[in-house]
Amino acid sequence: MDRDLWSGLAVFAAIVEAGSFARAATRLGRSASALSHAMRVLETRLGVRLIDRTTRSLSPTRAGEALLLRLKPAIAAVEDALGDLDGARETPAGHIRISAHRVAAVYAILPRLADFARAYPDITVELVVDDGFVDIVADRFDCGVRHAMTLQADMIAVRISDAVPLVYVAAPAYLDDNPPPAGPHDLDAHRCLCYRHTSSGAVHRWEFERDGRRSERAIRGDFVTNDVDLMRDAAAAGLGICCLPLPHAVRHLADGRLVEVLAGWAAVLPPNYLYHPSRRQPTAAFRAFVDAMRA
């Protein structure tokens, strides 16, 4: 097959899968204008429109849908063949793209990357931090890292961390003017800093566990953010009390910028898991990455 024609067909499939020229360009490492030009060339050469475009959306035409239905098995077969070829390398090489929430990225993945890079210098890693829900298949990630209760269905999951304790914290300056809460019922009298989930838009409910009994509570947020770093720094600045994963607060607790409140009340989050589609044939590079994270 003509190389330019095959390239254009691959671009067409990527654009439809991504749902926009901009997202497809990001995934392919090209500019949106280059993909638009490739589509014009392809449609001109085939003599048929494949995509209907508006300023806000795109969708395949009837002819485009029919073509895509035939293309997908061929593209999957090529990807499998390349995966088999990759397995024949003496040293794994390739690109690994991961979606992880911030705490897992910083405390579970990053500490292992230096050893991984030394062992596999021909593997490049792209780590995308997103605390919201991510469809790793639709967004073309090789894998995701989330807590057990937020994993996508039908995935292979590998545990890469222990359970993650939570901790309630505030700055000493804030507690100078506000007596520490003795229990969750005292929080109504305090300024509370809350986290808003990016995907759902819901404000995170605070979780408590004591004497084997677990509960949660909706908190009125006097300050709300979708960034855990900013929430921690707001607490350190004296804005109020917040709930953090312990690894994210440990340095601030050690140097006195934050102190623990509600000791003995904080719940524990499930371990972090690396997950990936069960139907995809893993490359040697991806297998090496999973093994490194599992260690």
Q: Output the CATH code of domain 3-87.
A: 1.10.10.10
Per-residue pLDDT at 85 exceeds 70: no
**Residue-level pLDDT at 55:** 66
Beta bridge partners of 215: 208
Task: Please give the Cα distance from 69 to 171 (Å, whole number).
Answer: 58
Per-residue pLDDT at 79 exceeds 80: no
Contact residues for 159 (Cβ-Cβ < 8 A; gap 6+): 271, 272, 273, 294
Task: Please give the Cα distance from 188 to 217 (Å, whole number).
Answer: 11
Give start-end residues of each CATH 3.40.190.290 domain in the chain. Answer: 164-269
Task: Please give the Cα distance from 218 to 205 (Å, whole number).
Answer: 5
In words, the CATH class of domain 94-161+271-294 is alpha beta
**Residue-level pLDDT at 210:** 92
Specify the amino acid at residue 27.
R
Task: Please give the Cα distance from 13 to 20 (Å, whole number).
Answer: 11
Pairing type for strands 259-261 and 164-170 reads: antiparallel
**Per-residue model confidence as pLDDT tens digits over 212-243:** 899 999 998 999 999 999 999 999 999 999 99
- Reply yes or no on domain 164-269 having CATH 2.60.40.10: no
Give start-end residues of each CATH 1.10.10.10 domain in the chain. Answer: 3-87
Which is higher by pLDDT, 275 or 56?
A: 275
Q: Alpha helix locations (H) across the chain?
A: 3-18, 21-28, 32-46, 62-87, 102-104, 110-119, 172-177, 228-236, 246-254, 284-294
Pairing type for strands 272-277 and 155-159 reads: antiparallel
Q: Residues 143, 136: contact at Cβ < 8 Å?
A: yes
162-181 average pLDDT score: 95
Give start-end residues of each CATH 3.40.190.10 domain in the chain. Answer: 94-161+271-294
Q: What DSSP character marks residue 48?
A: S
- What DSSP string describes 139-208? TT-SEEEEEGGGPPSSEEEEE-S--EEEEEEE-HHHHHHSPPPSSGGGGGGS-EEEEB-TTT-PBPPEEE
**Residue-level pLDDT at 2:** 67
